[in-house]
Structure 1
């Protein structure tokens, strides 16, 4: 015979409510522990780099060398903003203008295109996995909010420049500059920067070293946008 009386219904409900409250709090604390230290520390790797490592038959890690924002050409920072997220300095992680344009185009029969900001891309590349699912998009949105709350705009851009994939097994501005142009990232000129930014939508399909017509067109567009934004002085709008 048991020495313990069976748990009452009210007590069970209290335990369930406590558990339901504790789980979101634990998730919040865990995600803060993942995001907040990276305000100051350089990441050793990212979720996308780990995926590349797991897919490699030889088990090789991709090329990746972190360098600080000051060691990356301002031309590349400008090119990435010009090509991917021109309202980066103004929005809080989500570009509602681009989202509305994408939805409007889809309503008119066009294929739904992405409207991800640099902040969203950092959240995805650093912490998540590729693919399309509601769970992944919800986590991406949550991490985007945390990143915007915990990091400066310049830190977010620094992360993106260092974590973005520029080619097969090539992550970050320094590795890309050395591989494709034989020079450090701080020495990239406007043309080289525009070429690197042009492949970012799909670095597995688009190649820096063998640009197809799409890459050439994107490169010219980015160069035009860089001039329209007023050159590297545009970067002064980013908070440190």
Structure 2
């Protein structure tokens, strides 16, 4: 009954909810979440970016925003863009918080951080697992980001194995981030596709390595569109935003 009710709520709402999780560490998950939210706001959609990485929240630090909790619920930081950090207080009533959020925004982007222990989180009743559980059950899309090196592919394989044994209502998608150029990149992508296609995802996406643009944004504590709107990395994330609102 609960699952059926959740599905009906998802179908009846007008907002689009995308949760982004990392297959391991240092995948660029937060960078993608932050800039995807910015791109959605730039094309005129009211957007809420939720930092739900309880163990290591970093969205506010990346863009030098202080006192995120200074306003109830969320804080507006740019035209049509707001951010929120999920604290223990919000986590105790995550259903109520998200109900208010989907009523106020066209798009919601949730940064979950690492989801390496996904199956454990979905059965864990601690407050640190509530946002992951909500996202997997009621989100429109769960995007899993992986990096292309040996350890990154290994972590992706582990997450894929967990997903095969886990009931997730949200549609799955995958991103291979920081793909190398040339033949090496082709090999990286081939390994990535071999793991992800068996899960029948909504889509798979590939973002090429653009260390310069990422470093500039980090140094200036700004989004990609603010530091170099012509960069390949910014264009790749902007394309995802356009796809979501097509």
> What TM-score, normalized to structure 1?
0.26
Larger radius of gyration: 1
Going by fraction, where is helix more abundant, 1 or 2? 1
Going by fraction, where is strand more abundant, 1 or 2? 2
> What TM-score, normalized to structure 2?
0.26
